[in-house]
């Protein structure tokens, strides 16, 4: 704390105490009743613990809850930008590297009738699913170019102070950045040693699994707060081959 700030606080403390003493003295001069003064003084002091209780345990918690709701809204706005910019597209692209892709798609066919229970079950299935990712099962160079083109975007998101409160989403961004670097630092992705292929496949698996969980969380947020955005997200679900943005598709 700066020296000037300490002086200001000390001055304020002395001023407030002096004002209180002055008013008590004026009360005595006018009414000449010290007994009455001490009755109210003790009563005021007795109320201080209750006042502290009200401020710290009730009002503070209400303000804290409001602040958390506000922060969560900001976080979901940032996450929404991520999925609009690259996240949903990455889900489609990375699915092509998963050999057992069909084994979990059925659990991710979200529709407008889903409840909290459905999202919870889908998350549980996703977290425990044994993804068989092979980073060279599809066109690895294409995914490397796509990720590299969004490197600055990932870094900008990591620089967002609000995301410091969202550890899981930050983990996802770091996983995607790491995968981007692993793919881009190699002069060629052809004829790599098997250990390199296994390493990159494991990095891709980590990023893909985190991406799916964050997508489920984001979809649940849209279902609760933005039903019109949720409707479009359901109609463009990357895990539903029958999904279509056309509302009245026949």
> Are 78 and 58 members of one domain?
no
- What six digits make up the tokens of 77? 């706005």
Q: Is the dihedral of CA 198, 204, 207, 213 positive or negative?
A: negative
Does residue 96 lie within any of the structural domains? yes
> Are 32 and 81 members of one domain?
no
Does residue 111 lie within any of the structural domains? yes
When comparing pLDDT for 212 and 106, which is higher?
Answer: 212
Query: Does the structure show a pLDDT above 90 at 147?
Result: yes
pTM, to two decimals? 0.73
Q: Into how many domains does the chain fold?
A: 2
> Are 114 and 208 members of one domain?
yes
Residue 233's pLDDT band (boundaries 50, 70, 90)?
very high
* Per-residue model confidence (pLDDT) at position 182: 93
Average pLDDT over residues 128-149: 90
pLDDT in tens, 112-138: 889 999 999 999 988 889 999 998 888
> Are 34 and 150 members of one domain?
no
> Are 43 and 114 members of one domain?
no
Does residue 19 lie within any of the structural domains? yes
Residue 248's pLDDT band (boundaries 50, 70, 90)?
low
pLDDT in tens, 19-73: 888 887 887 787 777 777 677 666 676 666 777 776 677 766 766 666 667 667 7
- The DSSP code for 183 is H
Q: Is the dihedral of CA 150, 156, 159, 165 positive or negative?
A: negative
> Are 30 and 94 members of one domain?
no
Containing structural domain, residue 48: 3-62
What residues are paired with 133 via a beta bridge? 98
> Which residues are CB-neighbours of 206 under 8 A, at least 6 positions away?
175, 179
> Which residues are CB-neighbours of 26 under 8 A, at least 6 positions away?
none
Shortest CA distance to 130 belongs to which of 205, 197, 183, 201?
205
* Per-residue model confidence (pLDDT) at position 165: 67
* Per-residue model confidence (pLDDT) at position 250: 44
- The DSSP code for 83 is I
> Are 50 and 122 members of one domain?
no
pLDDT in tens, 156-177: 998 887 776 678 899 999 999 9
Does residue 241 lie within any of the structural domains? no
In the chain, % of residues over pLDDT 70: 86
Contact 235, 112 (CB under 8 A): no
* Per-residue model confidence (pLDDT) at position 98: 92
Among 44, 62, 80, where does a domain finish?
62
């Amino acid at each position: 704390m700066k020296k000037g700030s300490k002086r200001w606080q000390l001055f304020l403390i002395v001023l407030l105490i002096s004002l209180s003493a002055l008013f008590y003295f004026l009360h005595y001069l006018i009414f000449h009743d010290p007994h009455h003064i001490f009755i109210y003084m003790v009563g005021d002091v007795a109320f201080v613990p209750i006042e502290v209780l009200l401020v710290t345990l009730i009002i503070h918690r209400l303000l804290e809850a409001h602040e958390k709701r506000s922060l969560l809204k900001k976080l979901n706005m940032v996450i929404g930008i991520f999925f609009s910019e690259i996240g949903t597209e990455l889900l489609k692209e990375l699915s092509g590297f998963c050999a057992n892709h069909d084994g979990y798609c059925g659990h991710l066919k979200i529709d407008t009738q889903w409840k909290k229970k459905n999202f919870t079950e889908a998350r549980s299935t996703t977290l425990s699913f044994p993804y068989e990712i092979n980073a060279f099962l599809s066109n690895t160079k294409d995914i490397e170019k796509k990720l590299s083109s969004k490197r600055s975007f990932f870094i900008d998101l990591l620089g967002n102070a609000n995301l410091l409160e969202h550890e899981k989403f930050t983990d996802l961004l770091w996983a995607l950045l790491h995968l981007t670097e692993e793919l881009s630092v190699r002069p060629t992705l052809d004829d790599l040693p098997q250990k390199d292929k296994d390493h990159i496949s494991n990095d891709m698996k980590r990023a893909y699994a985190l991406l799916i969980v964050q997508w489920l969380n984001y979809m649940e947020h849209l279902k609760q707060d933005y039903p019109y955005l949720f409707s479009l997200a359901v109609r463009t679900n990357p895990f539903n081959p029958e999904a279509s943005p056309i509302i009245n598709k026949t």
